[in-house]
Amino acid sequence: MKNYKILITITAISSMLVMSCSNGGSSVNASTDSTSETGGNDGSAVNVKSKVLMELFTSTTCGPCFPQNTTLNNYLNPESSVYADDLADDWIVLRYHVWWPSAGDPYYDWNTAPVIDRESYYSVGYVPHMFVQGQVDAGGTAAGWRTQARLAVDGVSPFNIQMTGTRDGYNLSGNVNVSSAGDVNNLGFRLFVAVTHDNSQYQAPNGQTVFDQTFIDFLTIDNSSGSVSYGEPLNLGVNETFTKSYNWTLDSNWPANSGVSWSAEDLNLVAFVQFDNSGPNEKKIFQVEALSFD
């Protein structure tokens, strides 16, 4: 009965530097653009366009990961001949580095627990391995990832995410605002806010030298059930907005490897709403937004 209620409710709302450790750099203010509405003109919250989150599991010790990461980078690079200009504005990538096929990936070693949690959540099994909107297994090739992104790109969502913030050296502070077009109280939605980094340089064992969208940490941790969850419960009524304030500082020694060079200017935030309950919408990501501090 609980799952039936969840299905009906969701259906209803869906229809309505250069050195091994960076110097901090100057202070930068950032905000996201307004998300396009898809319907409604009565002043109430309405469905909006849903951006696409693709979570990639990869490793610096994985040989096949290098060419697939390179092709993915080219799809997202405006100067590339294979640039996916029909997707790029709405395609958000989050790359988790794992601990196989061999140990020694510095990006994984820095913060292991949340990566282990997400790997277990999706039962990843091999790398490279991409998951789209939490539900679609897009496999291990960049061509397949692009295909699945194109299938997902025109979706709509009852959730709207807007982000503002300031980077002051290694510190990120600001707000993530999530509004809902429908009543989603006690249904099992969670808000995740992740810190990522672009354009770090590292001569990896697999030959890759530049790393983008690299996961560092989650800013949303929930201990209320007695165990750790990296997403916070999201309970909203119709037209309500939840504000998640953040104030987080990166250790200047990240990722504790003298062979990695990077800049604090390349820090980003990725916020997404995921349905963490059973039924046909299990693990579905309903909305995602990214904020760059460069």
pLDDT in tens, 227-254: 899 999 999 999 999 999 999 999 999 9
pLDDT number for residue 224: 85
34 found inside a domain: no
213 found inside a domain: yes
Ranges of beta strands (E only) in the chain are 28-31, 48-49, 52-58, 91-97, 129-132, 136-139, 156-157, 159-168, 171-180, 189-197, 200-201, 210-211, 214-218, 232-233, 241-249, 267-275, 285-292
Question: Which residues are paired to 122 by β-bridges?
Answer: none
- Counting the structural domains of the chain, the total is 1
285 found inside a domain: yes
For residue 224, give its domain range.
2-14+45-292
151 found inside a domain: yes
List the one residue out of 87, 53, 51, 95 whose CA is nearest residue 70. Answer: 95
pLDDT in tens, 47-77: 899 999 999 999 999 999 999 999 999 999 9
What's 34's DSSP letter?
P
115 found inside a domain: yes
167 found inside a domain: yes
21 found inside a domain: no
At 11, is the pLDDT very low, low, confident or very high (cuts 50, 70, 90)? very low
CATH number at residue 164: 2.60.40.10
Q: Which residue has the tokens 């109280």?
A: 185
pLDDT in tens, 136-147: 999 999 999 999
28 found inside a domain: no
pTM score of the predicted model: 0.90
pLDDT in tens, 252-262: 999 999 999 99
| 208: its two tokens | 């890759």
Q: Rounded to whole angstroms, what are the CA distances from 210 to 68, 204, 213? A: 13, 9, 11
